[in-house]
Amino acid sequence: MNIWEVIANEGYKDCILIDDTGKEIYDSCNFFMEEQDSFYQRKIVFTQKEISIADISNYWGIEGTFVVNQKTKKIFEENFEKIQFIPLICEQYHKEKFWLINVLNYQNVLDINRCKYDTMRNIYGETIIHHIKSYSFVDDVCNLDIFKITVLGKKFPLNLFVTDNFKQIIDKNNLTGLNLRKIYES
């Protein structure tokens, strides 16, 4: 069984958040990390006019999430749990619907003693893990599909992981745009 990290896709349009004047701005995962009902209405534009939109698109400014179309949303709702779909407004493609996904499934599944990582001191002088260079997971991870991790009780919202089951469902439904990097094999 493999664990994959979701990374930026190549070869498809990306989207970015804009303000009311059309100026590009960067979102903050703090706006939706734990929201059940998002209060912040997001407007997006797609970049790279010469290439097509994927079923799963990059959302620039935030790692650990992506944008999905109606087809993908339906497949996710039928197959996966603990995903919030935040509606987006896109005037470029006003006949289509898009959602930002917010994965609420945080799991303590790292075998931290077998991982390689960098530490740093936070503003309180505590030593914390801030970058994991090599992952190792506990056996329970095989029961998951799409998830984020906690490390020593701290949520890592910018890393999004999937298992082979998730990848197989994406492949079976011919969804475009998902780019994965294998980070663990058991």
pLDDT in tens, 81-103: 999 999 999 999 999 999 999 99
pLDDT, the chain, mean:
90
Eight-class DSSP state of 9 = -
Residue at 98 is within a domain: yes
C-alpha triplet 162, 165, 168: angle, nearest 5°: 105
pTM for this prediction: 0.90
Residue at 143 is within a domain: no
- Longest distance between any two alpha carbons in the chain, whole Å: 51
Residue 35, pLDDT above cutoff 60:
no
Residue at 185 is within a domain: no
Which pLDDT value is given to residue 48?
Answer: 84
Q: Please compute, for residue 5, the number of CA atoms within 13 A of its CA located in the half-sphere on the CB side.
A: 19
Helix (H) or strand (E) holding 36: none
Under 8 Å between Cβ of 180 and 9: no
Residue at 47 is within a domain: yes
Residue at 182 is within a domain: no
**What is the count of structural domains for the chain?**
1
d(CA 99, CA 84): 9
* Contact residues for 143 (Cβ-Cβ < 8 A; gap 6+): none
- Enclosing domain of residue 53: 9-103
Two tokens, residue 126: 């505590």
* Contact residues for 169 (Cβ-Cβ < 8 A; gap 6+): 75, 79, 145
Two tokens, residue 82: 């603990």
